[in-house]
Amino acid sequence: MKSSINGPGHDGGPLDASGVLAGFLASLETFEPDEILPWFHSDAVIEFPFAVEGRPKRYEGTAELTTFFKWAAQVFSTISFLDVQVWPLADPSMALGEFRSSGVLARSLVPFGNSYIVTATARDGRLSTYREFYDPQAVIRAAGGGRV
C-alpha cells in the first residue's frame, strides 16, 4: 500500500496523531524508507524500551531512522502486521496503537510473531516520537537464542 500524508478521505489539513500513526503502520510492512520516512519529522525519535541485548533502544533523526528501517528490511524475508488498532487520546497530538506481527526471519527462515503496544506523538501531521513495546523473548526464541 502506498502511503500518503494527504491520503484518501483526508481534507488536506494536518492529521492528528491517531491518523498519522495509522498511516505509518499501514506503510510499515514495506520497510522502504521512501514509504516510511514521510510520516516522521526530521528530528523524530523511535524508541524500543525492551530491545534485545545488542540492539539500540533509540534512533533519532532521519539518518538513524533510515539505518533502522534498512536493517529491519534485511531481518525479515516477509512480515505482516495484523489486527492493527489505533486509538486517539484526549490530547490529539498523542495516540496509542496495538497490533501483532507474523513473518519469517530472513537468515533462518524461522517463523516469527510478536505482539506490540505503541505510543506516538505527532505535530503538524508527522510523527515526532514513536515508542514500541514488544516481547523481546519472542525475538530471542525466533533467533534460536542468537542475535537478530
- Which strand (E) or helix (H) includes residue 40? strand 40-47
| CB distance 103 to 78 below 8 Å | yes
Q: Report whether pLDDT(3) > 50.
A: no
Q: Report whether pLDDT(122) > 80.
A: yes
| Grid cell locating 104 | 519469517
> Model confidence over 15-43: pLDDT tens digits?
899 999 999 999 998 888 899 999 999 99
Q: What is the pTM of this model?
A: 0.86
In the chain the domains, ranked by start, together with CATH numbers, are: 17-142 (3.10.450.50)
10 pLDDT tier (thresholds 50, 70, 90):
very low
Work out whether strand 126-134 and strand 40-47 pair parallel, antiparallel, or are unpaired. parallel
Residue 121: phi, psi to the nearest 5? -125, 150
| Grid cell locating 46 | 523511535
> Model confidence over 59-73: pLDDT tens digits?
999 999 999 999 988
